Amino acid sequence: MQCDKLIVGIGNRLRSDDAAGSIVARRLAQAGFCSIDTESMPENYIGTIQRRKPKKLVIVDACDMNLPAGEVRRIDLSALYGGIITTHGLPVHFLLQKLQEVTPHITFIGIQPETIAIGDRVSLQMHHGIDYCVAMLANGKETDIPLL
d(CA 89, CA 110): 16
Whole-structure pTM value = 0.91
Q: Can you list the domains of the chain with their CATH numbers?
A: 5-144 (3.40.50.1450)
The pLDDT tens digits for 27-79 are: 999 999 999 999 988 989 999 999 999 999 999 999 999 999 999 999 988 87
Cβ–Cβ contacts within 10 Å for residue 146, how many? Answer: 8
CB 148 within 8 A of CB 73: yes
The per-residue pLDDT for range 108-124, each reduced to its tens digit, is: 999 999 998 898 899 99
